[in-house]
Copies of this chain bind each other. A is one copy, B any other.
């Protein structure tokens, strides 16, 4: 799991340090949607002495490599989602901010078409559907 991330770092010339390993493990095992400081908390439960800065920097690094994405979910902090599979799909209630993940993906060749036209090499995507959930619509 997190081995893939470690390898991705090593492949691109980044060092795989003890701190980074703990951070990656925690990230993968906990799943997505953590903020940087929440992750720092969890990391510190496993290995004391890991600084907040290191967590922030590791997250930035993964984002720069396209393996992670920051998303904003209303609270003042960025939440991070893993892009291991290359895509992520959210259904978000704009009234209560709840976030539900779903798997269905029907983009077809859209990414490739757009990418080709603009000279991008596409790595993944995020699709967020916004609406009002049943409970919020009721009240």
Contact = CB atoms under 8 A, between A and B. Distances in A.
A33 to B, nearest CB: 13
Contacts of A121: 131-132, 137
A123 interface: yes
Contact of A63 (B65, B69, B91, B94): B94
Interface stretch (A13-21, A23-31, A39-47, A105-113): A105-113
A78 B113 CA distance: 29
A129 B111 contact: yes
A108 B106 contact: yes
A57 to B, nearest CB: 14
A115 B131 contact: yes
A49 interface: no
A42 to B, nearest CB: 21
B120 A91 contact: yes
A125 B107 CA distance: 13
Nearest to A90: B126
